[in-house]
Amino acid sequence: MFIPKYSITNKILKDVGIIEAAKEIIMNAPLVPVWEAKFRKEAIERTIHHGTHLEGNPLSPEEVQDVLEGEEIVARDRDIQEILNYRNVLKFIEGIYAQIGTSGSYSFTIETILEMHRLTTDKILPPESSGQFRIRQVVIKNSRTGQVSYTPPPAPEVPYLIEDLVNWINSDEARQIHPIIKAGIIHYELARIHPFVDGNGRVARGVATLILFLDSYDIRKFFSFEEYFDENPMKYYLTLQAVSNQLVLDTHERDLTPWLEYFTEGVAIELNRVKEKVQRISVDARIKDKLGTQLMLNERQMMIMEYIHRHKSLSNKDFRKIFPDYSDDTVLRELKFLRQKGLVKKSGGTKKAAYVLK
- How many angstroms separate the Cα of 322 from the Cα of each of 285, 296, 305? 21, 20, 11
- What pTM value is reported for the model? 0.81
Per CATH, which fold does 297-357 belong to? Arc Repressor Mutant, subunit A (1.10.10)
Residue 13: its pLDDT value, please? 98
CB 231, CB 168: distance < 8 Å: no
For residue 211, the number of C-alpha atoms closer than 13 Å in the C-beta half-sphere is 27
Q: Show me where the domains of the chain are located.
A: 10-278, 297-357
Q: What is the largest CA-CA distance in the chain?
A: 79
CATH class of 10-278: mainly alpha
Determine how β-strand 344-347 pairs with β-strand 140-141: unpaired
Task: Check residue 303 and give its pLDDT.
Answer: 82
Buried residues in 175-214 as b, exposed as e (16+ CB within 10 A): eebbbbbbbbbbbbbbbbbbbbbbbbbbbbbbbbbbbbbb
Give the span between the Cα atoms of 42 and 38, in whole angstroms. Answer: 6
The Cα 67–Cα 86 span in angstroms is 12
Q: What b/e readout covers 266-302, taking b as 16+ CB neighbours within 10 angstroms?
A: bbbbbbebbbebbbbbbbbeebeeeeeeeeebeebbb
- pLDDT given at position 350: 67
**pLDDT tens, residue order, the chain (358 aa):** 899 999 999 999 999 999 999 999 888 876 666 678 878 898 999 999 999 999 999 999 999 999 999 999 999 999 999 999 999 999 999 999 888 876 667 889 999 999 999 999 999 999 999 999 999 999 988 767 778 889 999 999 999 999 999 999 999 999 999 999 999 999 999 999 999 999 999 999 999 999 999 998 988 888 898 999 999 999 999 999 999 999 887 877 899 999 999 999 999 999 999 988 887 766 666 665 665 565 667 778 878 887 887 788 899 888 888 888 888 899 999 999 988 888 889 888 767 789 988 7
How far CA 206 is from CA of 24, 115, 210, 238, in Å, comes to 24, 11, 6, 20
* pLDDT score recorded for residue 284: 60
pLDDT for res 36:
80
Same fold, 10-278 and 297-357: no
